[in-house]
Amino acid sequence: AQSVTQLGSHVSVSEGALVLLRCNYSSSVPPYLFWYVQYPNQGLQLLLKYTTGATLVKGINGFEAEFKKSETSFHLTKPSAHMSDAAEYFCAVSVYNQGGKLIFGQGTELSVKP
Amino acid sequence: DAGVTQSPTHLIKTRGQQVTLRCSPKSGHDTVSWYQQALGQGPQFIFQYYEEEERQRGNFPDRFSGHQFPNYSSELNVNALLLGDSALYLCASSLPGLAGGGGSYNEQFFGPGTRLTVL
């Protein structure tokens, strides 16, 4: 079975500072990994995904994540936070032959201070 | 392209009642998944429909059932509502992968959700 752990339910950064949201996964088979963002009263929007190939994945809005198999991690980063980045972020995992079933972490709420 | 749409936006029911939530997938998508998101939690997979059949199911009781229509739209039905069923219900659509039924590597596009409150 797969699982996802997001370290830190709340992260606060200053505008312009580095954003780092942590995600660790557990999977007995090679995983597919996703980061989604959720703004208040909205559905989820995909930021980026890792399936195979290059382990450093670039997404929308300047976000990127690196798949580290040895550390079972897929941390999300952004060099410089913007006020509009304030939202809830979810890391998720799926595996081949499970038809796209996503297992989500608990989420990390990102606050950006001016 | 309207993306994934869900109706209604909000719903209030009382314990024991039944509810039906509706979802229209993104144009060109034929796979629909439903998720329950309790307050402060990540979404939890309920089930997935492809070719009008339930392909996968999460750890939810039989009170949760669904249907997919020939036009790929879908319904989620919940019977005998409990207070604990209060949540945001999200619908997601995707393309099938090589194996059909929504490839694990394909992006799922989420709708805005239906907020269900059970009193």
Kindly report, residue by residue over B26-78, the tens digit of the pLDDT: 998 989 999 999 998 999 999 999 889 998 899 999 999 999 999 999 999 99
Give tens-digit pLDDT for A44-99.
999 999 988 889 999 999 999 999 999 999 999 999 999 999 999 999 998 766 66
Rounded to a whole number of angstroms, the CA Rg of chain B reads 14
Q: What percentage of chain A reaches a pLDDT higher than 70?
A: 96
- Averaged pLDDT, B83-100: 84
Work out the pLDDT band at A10, boundaries 50, 70, 90. very high
Dist CA A4 CA A18 (whole Å): 23
Q: What are phi and psi of A84, to 5 degrees?
A: -70, -5
Q: What is the pLDDT of residue B102?
A: 46
Mean pLDDT of chain A: 93
Judge: B103–A99 Cβ closer than 8 Å, yes or no: yes
Dist CA B40 CA B46 (whole Å): 18
Point out the residue among A49, A100, A107 whose CB comes nearest to the CB of B42.
Answer: A107
B83: three-class secondary structure by DSSP: helix
- Averaged pLDDT, A24-53: 90
Dist CA A84 CA A70 (whole Å): 33
DSSP letters, A55-76, are: SEEE-GGG-EEEEEGGGTEEEE
B84: three-class secondary structure by DSSP: helix
At residue A7, does pLDDT exceed 50? yes
How close is the nearest chain A Cα to the Cα of B17, in Å?
25
Q: What is the pLDDT of residue B103?
A: 55
- Residue in A with minimal Cα distance to B89: A43
**CA proximity to A92, closest of A50, A34, A9:** A34
Dist CA A35 CA A30 (whole Å): 17
- Residue in B with minimal Cα distance to A48: B107
Interface mutation target, options B108, B109, B114, chain A, most CBs of A under 10 Å: B108
**B-proximal residues of A, 48-107, CB under 8 Å:** 49, 51, 90, 92, 94-107
Q: What is the pLDDT of residue B100?
A: 47
How close is the nearest chain A Cα to the Cα of B105, in Å?
6
- For residue B73 the two structure tokens come to 């739209």
Name chain B contacts of A46, Cβ cutoff 8 Å. Answer: 107-109
Please state whether beta strands B10-13 and B114-118 pair in parallel, antiparallel, or not at all (unpaired).
Answer: parallel
Work out the pLDDT band at A30, boundaries 50, 70, 90. confident
Say how many CB pairs under 8 Å bridge A and B. Answer: 84
Q: What is the pLDDT of residue B17?
A: 98
- The answer to whether B48 and B56 have CB atoms below 8 angstroms apart is yes
Q: What are phi and psi of B77, to 5 degrees?
A: -115, 135
A84: three-class secondary structure by DSSP: helix
Strand boundaries in A1-114, DSSP class E: 3-7, 10-14, 19-26, 31-38, 44-50, 56-58, 64-68, 73-78, 87-95, 103-104, 108-113
* Alpha-carbon distances, residue A49 vs A108, B62, B73 (angstroms): 17, 32, 26
B81: three-class secondary structure by DSSP: coil
Please state whether beta strands A108-113 and A10-14 pair in parallel, antiparallel, or not at all (unpaired).
Answer: parallel
- Averaged pLDDT, B97-116: 74
> Which of A20-29, A97-106, B110-119 shows the lowest mean pLDDT across its residues?
A97-106
Point out the residue among B4, B94, B111 whose CB comes nearest to the CB of A100.
Answer: B94
